């Protein structure tokens, strides 16, 4: 076997992390360590290129930084369920790990923070609705200001909403009630949303890690599809070969719904998704530039709705 020249630490193996693994683990001369809290839950993921490490990102920063410093690439896929401050803590630990690597005379740490989502530079904190989104902006500012000095290279991959989430019943945009389907537009029918399947995010990530894309110290974009809500309704109508009910949730409607229930996270999300920073042109994406074919909304809809 050729020598391993690249060590990746992937934190989290949920919906996203486990979709990354098949792509990362086929990279040549690369070993993937998956950091999770309960190793026993993930033994099925191991193979000669993939091992597990018991790791809790809520742990002491100094220890975590020392662990991260042993790896060339650090990828966070730890999900939404973190406490406030978790993404900032991790970014600071990555910067500390970079410094340790510099002292040891090793290459920069390449850090992919947990920002697999919207364009936080544009959404900001959603006019105060989404403190986590605001914190993500802070992570970007921190990396922009300190990464170079800290011997860290960083890449943020903006993916839009996960394809699976667009069709989640609880999201309320594609609402299935027996045979009846209602498609709802956030803001209006011309408003758009970018979506990417998690498996495809893994594919794009692996190409970035390979060095195929210009991705150093910047935000890059990928998109399985960018569709208007009118196009989404048309696609579903075509796939199901039936009329779908169309309902528009204007910003005003979403605001009054949230006012009834001010702590409802989903209602906050819908309002943020009715605004800007949640879609981009496919032509601006890494997948377009590298000619990587990703699953689009029509193909995904056929997969899960046809029949």
Ligand X SMILES: NC(=O)c1ccc[n+]([C@@H]2O[C@H](COP(=O)([O-])OP(=O)(O)OC[C@H]3O[C@@H](n4cnc5c(N)ncnc54)[C@H](OP(=O)(O)O)[C@@H]3O)[C@@H](O)[C@H]2O)c1
Task: Return d(Cα 236, Cα 176) in angstroms, integer.
Answer: 11
Rg, C-alpha atoms of the chain: 20
Contacting residue, 8, 10, 16, 233, with ligand X by CB under 6 A: 16
The H or E element that residue 154 is part of is strand 152-158
| Closer residue to ligand X, CB minimum distance, 98 or 224 | 224
Contact stretch for ligand X (CB under 6 A) within 72-80, 142-150, 249-257, 258-266? 72-80
CB of 12 to ligand X, least distance (A): 3
Q: Which is nearer to ligand X, 81 or 262 (CB)?
A: 81
Answer yes or no whether residue 117 interacts with ligand X by CB under 6 A.
Answer: yes
Judged by CB under 6 A, which of 9, 10, 17, 205 binds ligand X?
A: 17
- Evaluate whether 236 touches 54 at the Cβ level (below 8 Å): no
Helix (H, G, I), strand (E, B) or coil at 8: strand
Q: What is the DSSP string of 113-124?
A: -S--SS-HHHHT
Q: Which stretch binds ligand X (CB under 6 A): 60-68, 76-84, 217-225, 238-246?
A: 76-84
Does residue 161 touch ligand X according to CB under 6 A? Answer: yes
The verdict on 89 binding ligand X (CB under 6 A) reads no
**Contact between 45 and ligand X per CB under 6 A:** no
- Candidate ranges 50-58, 178-186, 237-245, 256-264; the one touching ligand X (CB under 6 A): 50-58
d(CA 115, CA 104): 29
Q: Which is nearer to ligand X, 64 or 244 (CB)?
A: 64
Identify the CA nearest to 158 among candidates 92, 192, 88, 205. Answer: 205
Q: How far is the CB of 204 from ligand X (least distance, A)?
A: 13
Q: Rounded to the nearest whole angstrom, what is the least distance from the CB of residue 118 to ligand X in the complex? A: 7
Half-sphere exposure of 267 (CA within 13 A, CB side): 13
According to DSSP, the residues that pair with 17 across neighbouring strands are none
Does residue 44 belong to the site contacting ligand X (CB under 6 A)?
no
> Is residue 263 part of the contact set for ligand X (CB under 6 A)?
no
The correct pick among 78, 123, 285, 287 for binding ligand X (CB under 6 A) is: 78
CA distance 293 to 203: 10
* Nearest position to ligand X, beta carbon: 14
Q: Which two tokens stand for residue 45?
A: 């993921």
Closer residue to ligand X (CB): 56 or 103: 56
Question: What is d(CA 10, CA 55) in angstroms, rounded to the nearest whole number?
Answer: 11
Could you tell me if 166 and 297 are in contact, meaning their C-beta atoms sit under 8 angstroms apart? yes
Helices (H), the chain: 15-24, 61-68, 86-103, 120-123, 131-146, 163-166, 198-210, 229-240, 251-260, 265-273, 286-289, 297-305
How many whole angstroms separate alpha carbon 81 and alpha carbon 78? 8
Number of residues that bind ligand X (CB under 6 A): 28
Q: Given candidates 6, 10, 12, 220, which one binds ligand X under the rule CB under 6 A?
A: 12
When binding is defined by CB under 6 A, the residue of 26, 46, 47, 58 that contacts ligand X is 58
Q: Count CA atoms within 13 Å of residue 305 on its CB side.
A: 30
Q: Tell me: does residue 194 bind ligand X (CB under 6 A).
A: no
Binding residues for ligand X, per CB under 6 A? 11-17, 35-38, 41, 55-58, 77-81, 116-117, 159, 161-162, 164-165
């Amino acid at each position: 076997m050729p020598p391993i020249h690249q060590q990746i630490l992937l934190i989290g193996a949920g919906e996203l992390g486990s979709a990354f693994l098949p792509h990362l683990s086929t990279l040549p001369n690369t070993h993937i360590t998956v950091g999770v809290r309960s190793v026993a839950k993930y033994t099925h993921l191991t193979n000669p290129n993939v091992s597990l490490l018991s790791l809790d990102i809520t742990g002491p920063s100094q220890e975590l930084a020392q662990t991260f410093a042993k790896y060339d690439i650090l990828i966070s896929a730890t999900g939404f369920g973190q406490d406030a401050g978790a993404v900032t803590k991790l970014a600071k630990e990555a910067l500390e790990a970079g410094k340790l690597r510099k002292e040891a005379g090793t290459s920069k740490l390449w850090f992919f923070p947990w920002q697999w989502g919207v364009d936080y530079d544009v959404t900001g904190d959603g006019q105060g609705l989404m403190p986590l989104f605001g914190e993500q902006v802070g992570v970007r500012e921190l990396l922009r200001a300190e990464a170079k000095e800290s011997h860290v290279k960083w890449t943020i991959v903006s993916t839009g909403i996960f394809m699976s989430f667009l069709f989640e019943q609880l999201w309320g945009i594609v609402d299935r009630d027996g045979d009846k389907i209602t498609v709802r537009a956030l803001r209006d029918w011309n408003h758009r949303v970018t979506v990417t399947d998690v498996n495809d995010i893994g594919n794009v990530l692996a190409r970035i890690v390979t060095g195929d894309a210009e991705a150093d110290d910047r935000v890059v974009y990928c998109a399985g599809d960018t569709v208007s809500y009118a196009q989404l309704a048309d696609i579903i109508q075509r796939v199901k070969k039936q009329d779908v009910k169309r309902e528009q949730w204007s910003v005003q409607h979403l605001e009054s719904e949230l006012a009834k229930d001010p702590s409802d996270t989903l209602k906050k999300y819908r309002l943020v998704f009715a605004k800007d920073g949640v879609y981009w042109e496919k032509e601006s994406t890494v997948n377009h530039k590298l000619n990587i074919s990703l699953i689009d909304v029509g193909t995904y809809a056929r997969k899960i709705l046809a029949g």
